[in-house]
Structure 1
Amino acid sequence: MKTTITGLYDSYDDAKAAVKALENAGVASDDISIVTNKANGDVDVEGQGNKAGEGAGAGAGIGAIAGGAGGLLTGLGLLAIPGVGPVVAAGWLAATAAGAVAGAVAGSAVGGIVGAMVESGVPEDDANFYAESIRRGGSVVTARVEDGHRASAEAILNNSRRVNVAERRSRYAEQGWTRFDDTADPYTDEEIAAERDRYRVNRL
């Protein structure tokens, strides 16, 4: 039986390293997903002559989302998520989120990116936190692994400078945050930069 594990990263490079390490450890690309805010302008989108940070319009669909022979990261595509804005994503979670955005997943309370995570086995409270973190400029890696391999997969995520979820959630709560709001305006580039500066000391 497979279980879902999730890692949050302030740096896209750290998230990318986690994906590659999971693949190197034998986790199939089909069982891994990555979603990163478009503000991570160093993300190359397969087949695009530019950087993902140049954005995707509201309502845009995701392009190539299958990892293929080159691994998950070769299938990155653009997707616009309500409340988050343009993101760069690949994998099964991205496909589910794209379906949710298109209306394939019913229920406004758990629609969009939150609904996609809940459907994949992430608790709703955690899904709200991860969606908010993407909104604030973060990158989320999600993997489906066999129960017997969970500990080793979690260790891989931890070794890639994973954010301490309890600590970060507490910091959000101090700012008055309670849950992800998909009707809220996406963060601007300036707001994301300020958010990153707020937590930069934790990465030194």
Structure 2
Amino acid sequence: MTQTLTRSYNSYETARSVVEALEAEGVSSADISVVGRHASVDDSNAGEGAGIGAALGGAAGLLAGIGMIAIPGIGPVVAAGWLAATAAGAVAGGAAGGLIGAFTSAGHSEEDANYYAETVRRGGTVVSVRTADEDVPAVQAILDGATPINRDERLAEYRAGGWSRFDETAAPYRPPVV
């Protein structure tokens, strides 16, 4: 049996280091996905995704194939892997669900899928790994070793601000000015 393990991080750079650690541990690039925001994406055209992997630090493995896609409700993101392909396919085909559908088809609950999509919308980066049951402890150790966002605390923060679910028709997220 396989499981899908997913964590969200505040920065693309942290997520990148997680992907590199997973690959160094022997996890196949085909079983890793990353979807998130990177500062260079906000200033780029989502159609310019080809070859961005090297520019974002992906010398080999999954990160070498990273590109940009535009996701409704989020805007342009850097993405690679099976999760990104599912979301991009839904977007290109006009199918409902996009990123939410990609997360739920990977086995996540609707609540978790909405949380992960909203986290990407608000500037975070998500790493998902498909792994055999016997490899779960090692993969969890890598994912959790990089201090992922505390899901429950972040959900409480989102809800305190009036959020209830990811809305792909929403305008791009702009953090409140403090």
When normalised by structure 1's length, the TM-score is 0.78
Q: What TM-score, normalized to structure 2? A: 0.89
What is the rounded CA distance, in whole Å, between the counterparts of 2:49 and 2:108 in structure 1? Answer: 22
Is 1:177 aligned to 2:160, yes or no?
Answer: no
The aligned residue for residue 103 of structure 1 is: 93
The count of corresponding residues between Structure 1 and Structure 2 is 174
After TM superposition, the runs of 4+ consecutive aligned structure 1 residues lying more than 4 A away are 60-66
CA distance in 2: counterparts of 1:73 and 1:144, whole angstroms = 16
| Residue type at the aligned position of 1:116 | A
Q: Which residue of 2 aligns with 1:150?
A: 136
Counterpart AA for 1:52: V
Write out per-residue CA displacement over residues 69-106 of structure 1, whole angstroms, 9 at most, x where no aligned residue: 921111110100000011011111111111010126x4
Structure 1 69/86 Cα, relative in aligned 2: closer, same or farther at 3 Å?
closer
3-state SS, counterpart of residue 79 of structure 2: strand
Q: Is the 8 A contact 1:65 1:94 kept in 2?
A: no
CA distance in 2, matches of 1:149, 1:12: 24
Equivalent residue number for residue 168 of structure 1? 154
Is the 8 Å Cα contact of residues 114 and 165 (structure 2) preserved in structure 1?
yes
Query: How far apart are residue 134 of structure 1 and its match?
Result: 0.4
Structure 1 partner of 2:33: 33
Separation (CA, whole Å) in 2 of partners of 1:183 and 1:94: 19
Partners in 1 of 2:61 and 2:3 — Cα distance?
A: 21
Shift of 1:54: 2.1
Q: Distance in 2 between matches of 1:187 and 1:173?
A: 15
What is the aligned counterpart of 2:69 among 79, 89, 98? 79
**Counterpart among 38, 44, 47 of residue 55 in structure 1:** 44
Residues 101/65 of structure 1: CA separation in 2 closer, same or farther (3 Å cut): farther
2:12 maps to what in 1? 12
Instruction: Give the one of 111, 114, 138 matched to 2:124.
Output: 138
| Residue segments in structure 1 that go unaligned for 5+ positions in a row | 42-50, 198-204
86, 109, 127: which one aligns with 2:113: 127
Aligned to 1:159: 145
Tell me, yes or no, if structure 1 residue 24 matches structure 2 residue 24: yes
Q: Secondary structure at the match of 2:80?
A: strand
Identity of aligned residues (%): 49
List runs of 5+ in structure 2 lacking aligned partners. none
CA distance in 1, matches of 2:9, 2:77: 15
| CA–CA distance in structure 1, aligned partners of residues 131 and 17 of structure 2 | 17
Supply the RMSD in Å over aligned alpha carbons: 2.3
